[in-house]
């Protein structure tokens, strides 16, 4: 089954404790991205990647890191989480060169206390 | 940055009625996509309309696109309780790729039984 998976689905952590949210897709998509969703602000893109070892900043990259060492994986790293990073996070992927229809993961609800 | 903007922000109708949501955008586009999000879950692609198309149908969904007004509408006919969700439009700007995809803030649709 074609899918994007994220782990963990829920995470409560404390300020400053490094964490990684994993994202994996099994569709051989070149493009992957991370969004955060906050009430009243909609979906905001954090980082995206056009292919392996190619990443770029989205609209709200501060406080986040990503890596793309393999085509299928695109982890989101919070080196020193802060309460303003409490949010619902989504990973998405799509094939390049087509219509760019996005496939979304189920989401990771992160709470930073 | 967000280009698409949905209207209304929220809509509540009776089951069986038709629901119409609108999306306005600012710059020329390659295509416009509509997504659905059930509460707290990942977005799911519903339908795509290209810039050279004016109307498209998929089951109970009808999408129109007016490039002169830079607007699109999504009509859901004979609504069902299961249609309760948030609906987002997303645009790919002309000449852009997946990195140019931007989402609106969504319309929250409630279908009253």
Q: What is the mean pLDDT of chain B?
A: 92
- Smallest Cα distance from A2 to chain B, Å: 13
Report pLDDT for B2: 54
Report pLDDT for B6: 87
Among A35, A43, A94, beta carbon nearest to B98: A94
**Is residue B108 very low, low, confident or very high in pLDDT (cuts 50, 70, 90)?**
very high
Report pLDDT for B20: 97
Per CB-CB distance under 8 Å, the chain A contacts of B99 are: 31, 48, 50, 56
Q: Distance between CA A83 and CA B79 in Å, rounded?
A: 39
Distances (CA, A) of A92 to A68, A104, B52: 14, 4, 26
Interface of B with A in 75-104 (CB under 8 A): 88, 90, 92, 97-99, 101-104
Among A31, A40, A90, beta carbon nearest to B98: A31
pLDDT per residue as tens digits for the range B91-107: 988 777 777 788 889 99
Contact A33, A45 (CB under 8 A): yes
- Smallest Cα distance from A94 to chain B, Å: 8
* pLDDT over 60 at B58, yes or no: yes
pLDDT per residue as tens digits for the range B12-45: 999 999 999 999 999 888 899 999 999 989 999 9
Q: Please give, one letter per residue, the 3-state secondary structure of A66-99.
A: ECCCCCCECCEEECCCCHHHCEEEEEEEECCCCC
Contact A37, A99 (CB under 8 A): no
Report pLDDT for B92: 84
Q: Do A106 and B98 touch (CB under 8 A)?
A: no
Contact B31, B45 (CB under 8 A): no
Pick from A28-32, A35-39, A95-99, B10-14: least confident: A95-99
Q: Please give, one letter per residue, the 3-state secondary structure of chain B.
A: CCCCEEECCEEEEECCCCEEEEEECCCCEEEEEEEEECCCCCCEEEEEEECCCCEEEECCEEEEEECCCCEEEEEECCCCHHHCEEEEEEEEECCCCHHHEEECCCEEEEEEC
Contact B110, B11 (CB under 8 A): yes
Report pLDDT for A4: 98
């Amino acid at each position: 089954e074609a899918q994007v998976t994220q782990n963990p689905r829920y995470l409560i952590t404390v300020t400053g404790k490094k964490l990684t949210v994993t994202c994996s897709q099994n569709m051989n998509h070149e493009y992957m991205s991370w969004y955060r969703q906050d009430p009243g602000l909609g979906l905001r893109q954090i980082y995206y990647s056009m292919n392996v070892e190619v990443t770029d900043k989205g609209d709200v990259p501060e406080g986040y890191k990503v890596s793309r060492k393999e085509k299928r994986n695109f982890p989101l790293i919070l080196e020193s989480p802060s309460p303003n990073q409490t949010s619902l996070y989504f990973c998405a992927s799509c094939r390049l060169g087509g219509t760019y229809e996005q496939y979304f993961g189920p989401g990771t609800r992160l709470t930073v206390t | 940055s967000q280009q698409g903007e949905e209207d209304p922000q929220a809509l509540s109708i009776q089951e069986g009625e038709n629901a119409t949501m609108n999306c306005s955008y600012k710059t020329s586009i390659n295509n416009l996509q509509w997504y659905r999000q059930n509460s707290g879950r990942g977005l799911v692609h519903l339908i795509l309309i290209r810039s050279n198309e004016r109307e498209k149908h998929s089951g109970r969904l009808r999408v129109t696109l007016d490039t002169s007004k830079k607007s699109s509408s999504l009509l859901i006919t004979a609504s069902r309780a299961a249609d309760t969700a948030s609906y987002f439009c997303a645009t790919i700007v002309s000449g852009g790729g997946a990195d140019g995809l931007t989402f609106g803030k969504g319309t929250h649709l409630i279908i009253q039984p």
